[in-house]
Every structure is written in structure tokens, then in C-alpha cells.
Amino acid sequence: MKHRILIVSSANIDFVQRMARLPQQGETVLESASCKYVAGGKGSNSAVTFARLGADAVFCAKVGRDENGARLKRIYGEEGIDTRFVFQDAESPTGLASILVEEEDGANRIIVYPGANGTLSAENVEEAFTCYPDGVFVQLEIPDEAVFAAARFARENDIPLFVDAGPVRPGFSLENLGRAEILSPNETECAALTGIVPDSVENCLKAAIHLAGVTETKYVVIKLGSRGSFVYDGKYYHLVPGHKVQAVDTTAAGDVFTAALSYAYLQKGDILEAARFATYAAALSVTKEGAVPSVPTLQQVKDFAAEMRESGR
């Protein structure tokens, strides 16, 4: 079944530089291996993931009335994403992320200038709900009022809500989210939201119990990077292992994971199967450069999963 997913989130252009080593404070490094402008933003990465996996993706976001905004809208259109609710703000520029990627292991450091993302309003979100979604996916790279409006409209209309808790937001009131089907933070976000670093099974469980209690969440899924993910259903927990791949660029892997998890969960309602599927999708994304350019298609995830199973990895 083709589900309609409303993604309420952010849109950025990513300025990406790959380098052998990061500069120290006060140092200028003249060794950047490459630099590119690519489509990114946690929302873009997630919307493209839903679309490439085969969902009917409707994106609610705000870009500037500028060249970057027009470029992003064109890219979404080419991906088959519904852009009726990608609003354009006349006052602020399209969001911009500066990303440094280390060549050795693909690890990144990101700083975001939110620009037009910071003007996404509750009214914009309300308008987007006229698309009658089967699921609502939200991330925290937009104003609180937009996040909470999405959560409220989802609750009032009995639509499953999927929350990717990225990026870390100091002072964010999780309890205002109310009910969620899945809440998925990464390790840094988990530590910021709970004060517990998820570095052991015991700590993952403590953090997951805390998160499930604060938000009335059915499933808490903590993303543990290459270690996999920790899935908690309110009673039992499971560790879903990661896969060994040659990491080229980890940017967007978390966005791909949570979107693929939500997609697969909506398809079959099986959280563990969904987490395994999402792990394949995210692992595949880190083998490619860039944010949106690294998002795999459904067929690529299936082929990769078959290959990994055959090789016993």
C-alpha cells in the first residue's frame, strides 16, 4: 500500500567540504579535498527517503524566495515529492548548512544557518494537513510552534506521529509532543534529552524508559550509529546490530534511518523488521557522499540487504 506521509521539517543547501584533517583553533587548512553545494536539511533528506522508498511524500517546509529555494523545490519535484506546502519566505534566505567531512571515516561536523526554516509557522502546518496524511513525520530543525502544531494536529486526527529528535535543541519541551508512535533520537540527542549517555544496554534502557514516559511514545528507537539501534516497546527491548561498511560520508544517515523506519513500520506494523530495514538503508547511505545524493532507492536497499545476508555481514 502506498501511504501518504506528511514531512514537517527543514530544507537546506549543504556546503560540504571533505578534508584529511579538521583545522585546529586559529588554523587555516589549505587541503580541502573537494567542495560541493548539495541538497540537504534533515527534512529534505527524510522526504527524499520516503519518496525513493515508494511513499507518497508531501513536504511541509519553508525556503527563501531565492535561487537556492527554487533549486530545492525543483529537486523535490524531480523526486516526485508533493511541494504544495513548501512555502517561500520573502524576507529570509534558504537555510544553509556548512559541513566538514573527514575523509578517513566519513565523520562530519555540521553548523546550520536556519534562514527561512525559522519562519515555518503553525498556520503553515495546519494548511499542510489538508493533504489528509496517513502518517506525520517531524524533526526539530524548525520552530517549536511548527513541531507542536504537527504533533497536535496528528493527535486530534488520530494520525500516527513519527518523531526524529534531531537536531539537539537545548530547552526543548519533549512533554509538549504528547503521543507519538515512534520517537527516535541519536546518541547525542538522547543524552541531551534525558541526561543519560546511551553507552551501555542498561543506560539505553534507562533513557528509553525516560523518553517513553515523558512523551507517551509507543516505541523508542535510539540510533547508535555503526553499533545499530536500541528498540524499546514499553516492556521489552531489542538491540538491532549495525552493518560493517566502508563509510564515506555519514551525513544524513540518521535522517535516512528514521524515515526508512517509519516507512517500513507503516507498511507492516512490525517495529523490529522496520528497524532492520532502516539499518540497511542507513548503512547504504554512508557509503555515498552528500545528504540527498546519498539516499538509496527501495530496490537498492533490497539488493544491499540480500548481499549482506549472503555474505553473512
Which pairing describes strands 56-64 and 12-19: parallel, antiparallel, or unpaired?
unpaired
Contacting range for ligand RIB; rule: CB under 6 A; set: 10-18, 47-55, 188-196, 238-246: 10-18
Quote the CA–CA distance of 163 and 211 in Å, as a whole number: 12
Identify the burial level of 26 via C-beta atoms within 10 angstroms of its C-beta, where 0-12 means exposed, 13-18 middle and 19 or more buried: exposed
Contacting range for ligand RIB; rule: CB under 6 A; set: 207-215, 225-233, 234-242, 247-255: 247-255
Record the cell numbers describing residue 237, joined without a space. Answer: 527491548
By CB under 6 A, the count of residues binding ligand RIB is: 16
Active-site pick, 144, 255, 270, 303: 255
> Torsion angle of alpha carbons 49, 53, 55, 60, nearest 10°?
10
- Interaction with ligand RIB in 278-297: which residues (CB under 6 A)? 291
Quote the CA–CA distance of 236 and 234 in Å, as a whole number: 6
With b for 16 or more beta-carbon neighbours within 10 A and e for fewer, the 72-102 pattern comes to: bbebbeebebbbebbbebeebbbbbbebbbb
Whether residue 31 contacts residue 20, with contact meaning beta carbons closer than 8 Å, is answered with yes
- Interaction with ligand RIB in 97-116: which residues (CB under 6 A)? 97, 110, 112
Contacting range for ligand RIB; rule: CB under 6 A; set: 38-46, 148-156, 237-245, 272-280: 38-46
**Least distance to ligand RIB from the beta carbon of 44, Å?**
7
Contact with ligand RIB (CB under 6 A): which of 6, 7, 42, 276? 42
Q: Tell me, yes or no, if 255 is annotated catalytic.
A: yes
Q: Does 142 bind ligand RIB (CB under 6 A)?
A: no
**Least distance to ligand RIB from the beta carbon of 93, Å?**
14
Binding site for ligand RIB (CB under 6 A): 10, 12, 14, 40-42, 45, 97, 110, 112, 141, 251-252, 254-255, 291
Catalytic residues: 255
